[in-house]
Amino acid sequence: MAETTVKKDSMITKLDKVLMPIGQKLGNEKHLQAISNGMLFGLPFLVIGSFFLIVANPPIVMDRYNPATASFFMKWLAGWKYWAVAHYAQITVPYNMTMGMFGIICAFGIAYELSKGYRRSHPATDGMISLVTFLMVATTVDKNNKIDINNLGTNGLFVAIIIGLLAVEINRLIEKSNIKLKLPDSIPPMVANFINSLIPLVVNIFIFYGANLILVGMTHADFTTFIMKCLTPATFLANSLWGYILIVTLGNLLWLIGVNGSNVIFPIVFATGIAATGANAALVAKGLPPTHLMNLQMFRIAVLGGSGNSLALCILMMGSKVEKYRVLSKLSIIPGICSINEPIIFGVPICFNPILGIPFLIAPIVNIVLTYIAESLHWIGMGYIVDPSFTPFFFQAYMSSMDWRNIIFECILIAIGIVIYLPFFRVAEQNELKKVATA
């Protein structure tokens, strides 16, 4: 036992020596600090929004619900489902106004934190200029004057990061160039600040909104839509194991730079997963065994506990020596069980984190390969039922194939995920403890 502990400590020490200098260098970089701290502005909103999303999506497949034979619990779930469907718009308002506005929050928060890092006199003004500019490029208005807000949440996060950083740099350049109105000393400071904020605001609008108009005119797509189209890989890759791994890894790489990678890959993997699941259902209906391996179940396991299989990390954080990690894990464990992990990705954070980014990429690949092998060898049931999203993973595991072995298998995958995350988490934890000690 002692020898195992020594080897484990030795491995963590080696990882620490390799990753700590990188982490420290990146951690002290003003722009990355601004991104990390700016995203923390939105953490409470992500947590609250995720709970309302769970309420709006009860864990039941109504196509298989039979009131005549259903148990009391299933009838209760069905009642919840009927109520959720009837009041879906009202239930999801808190989600839309919290998680659905995460891009807006980050546009302000990132610019505000970067401005503070530069010790600028009015960081809130920089934040508001960034926020207003982001709204201009991330929203579209149709012929009926209705505003599309789909890009104001995590969909538009990458654009929010770009504008949040560049807006401050533009404002700094204007200040360094001494481009401002000369006002008499009798003008109150608040009024002078208001007047001098007009110039950087106009410049940012001219640059970003002007570029957006040109882009829309040339491609018929705004900033966010254009970026998403550029990042979307070919759909045919999703029908093979290695192509599927490539697509999922691409999505997770995008998460690491602040882009909602799930939204980029979702149309591909979900569409192919639904098609394969439907084909399996047709076989089962004929009394034949399902044969399509790349079914919807594969996608569910690829995002087990959320992208990057971060439920394993959330469990590790519950026993952490770092208070921030413990508190965050308690807030994130229930959403994580339902595969909603934005609180973990942006709260720890995992994005722009070279240490935790490694297991974030590795764990889903291991899960996909093991699932492929387990399905091929018939160790688990193959998915032939379209199960609802945002359902606790153990419900999804059973409902996808009506096979209890799938629940055990997914619990094993979470345990493997804990092993994968553990050494990297220990390094991140030690670095965080050193930061607290020197603060």
In a domain, 372, yes or no: yes
In a domain, 126, yes or no: no
d(CA 160, CA 154): 9
pLDDT in tens, 34-87: 887 887 777 778 778 777 877 887 877 787 788 888 888 889 989 999 999 999
In a domain, 245, yes or no: yes
In a domain, 123, yes or no: no
Helix, strand, coil shares of the chain as percentages rounded to 5? 75, 0, 25
Domain that holds residue 244: 9-30+240-438
For the chain, residues with pLDDT lower than 70 are 1-28, 181, 183-192, 228-238, 263-264, 267-268, 271, 278, 282, 285-287, 386-388, 439
Q: How high is the pLDDT of residue 170?
A: 94
Q: How high is the pLDDT of residue 232?
A: 55
In a domain, 260, yes or no: yes
Q: Please list the alpha-helical segments (H only) found in 257-391.
A: 261-285, 296-302, 311-317, 323-337, 342-347, 357-376
Domain count, the chain: 1
In a domain, 97, yes or no: no
Find how far residue 3's CA is from the centre of its chain: 39
pLDDT in tens, 127-162: 999 999 999 998 887 777 788 888 888 778 788 888
In the numeric block, the tokens 């990132």 are attached to: 110
Q: How high is the pLDDT of residue 421?
A: 93
Q: Are 328 and 359 in contact (CB under 8 A)?
A: no
In a domain, 83, yes or no: no
